[in-house]
Amino acid sequence: MNLIILGSQGSGKGTQAELLSEKYKLEHIDMGKTLREVALLDTPFGKEVYEIINIKKELVSNRIINKLLELKLSSLNREQGVVIDGIPRNLEQAKYTEELLQESGRKLDKVFLIYISEKESVKRISKRWVCKKCKTILIMGKDIKDSRDKCPACGSGIEQREDDTKEGVKKRLEIFKKETMPVADYFSKKNLLAEINGSQPVEKVFEEITKHII
């Protein structure tokens, strides 16, 4: 089985992709995470990606995304199903993702769009912290109480993502509306899209998603 998860910032798409990966033994392809790892590299490529995602807060070029996806898919066994999170973010990526899946002998079974309001998105992101070491997502007021707290999972220090500023979220939401929403329409016309209300608790969202998986 091969799935794609679309959703705006803070919609919980990463969490749902992780749950799907565990339940159905799928490889979780998380493009945002891959790019954040690349951005830590002390190389011209690492610096280029850092500048785009953390300073300009824009999308990385389709050429880079397509290459990274191609590398990832070709590194996997053909029988291994995938849940793709963070791609496609525009129409060109949508077409390329379909092509790459097909070339690697995979059928796209379903695309999920997890939607939340813009207000909810900004609210959730302002509370999102992450462990510096194990990268567990921690919610201020729920998992942690103070910015000086340690990660409950591994005891390391915590931080906020550099692109998770108020202005960063607003910019990424604009990009989502303009560039990624047409991707949802594209898959809807192909009868592959399921829209999921992301403002419910995590378990409810997951329950709704799995109802679409036969």
Distance CA 111, CA 2 (A): 9
Q: Is 87 among the residues that bind ligand AMP (CB under 6 A)?
A: yes
Q: How far is the CB of 4 from ligand AMP (least distance, A)?
A: 11
Q: Is 59 among the residues that bind ligand AMP (CB under 6 A)?
A: yes
Using DSSP bridges, classify how beta strands 2-7 and 110-115 pair: parallel, antiparallel or unpaired.
parallel
Q: Is 93 among the residues that bind ligand AMP (CB under 6 A)?
A: yes
Q: How far is CA 120 from CA 124, 142, 204, in A?
A: 6, 16, 17
**What is the per-residue burial (b if ≥16 Cβ within 10 Å, else e) of 96-119?**
bbbebbeebebebebbbbbbbebe
Q: Is 125 among the residues that bind ligand AMP (CB under 6 A)?
A: no
Q: Is 86 among the residues that bind ligand AMP (CB under 6 A)?
A: yes
Between residues 143 and 162, which has the closer beta carbon with respect to ligand AMP? 162
Q: Is 208 among the residues that bind ligand AMP (CB under 6 A)?
A: no
Q: Is 29 among the residues that bind ligand AMP (CB under 6 A)?
A: no
Name the helix (H) or strand (E) containing 138: strand 137-139
Phi and psi at residue 196, to the nearest 5°? -125, 135
Position among 31, 100, 108, 184 found at the interface with ligand AMP (CB under 6 A): 31
Distance CA 211, CA 207 (A): 6
Q: Is 184 among the residues that bind ligand AMP (CB under 6 A)?
A: no
Q: Is 116 among the residues that bind ligand AMP (CB under 6 A)?
A: no
> Footprint of ligand AMP on residues 127-166 (CB under 6 A)?
163
- The answer to whether 8 and 115 are in contact (CB under 8 A) is yes
Q: Is 65 among the residues that bind ligand AMP (CB under 6 A)?
A: yes
* 3-class state of residue 200 by DSSP: coil
Work out the number of other CB atoms within 10 angstroms of the CB of residue 4: 28
Q: Is 5 among the residues that bind ligand AMP (CB under 6 A)?
A: no
Position among 5, 32, 38, 94 found at the interface with ligand AMP (CB under 6 A): 32
Between residues 27 and 150, which has the closer beta carbon with respect to ligand AMP? 27
- DSSP letter at 165 equals S
Position among 6, 26, 53, 184 found at the interface with ligand AMP (CB under 6 A): 53
Q: Is 11 among the residues that bind ligand AMP (CB under 6 A)?
A: no
Chain residues that interact with ligand AMP, rule: CB under 6 A: 9, 31-32, 35, 52-53, 59-60, 65, 86-87, 89, 93, 163, 172
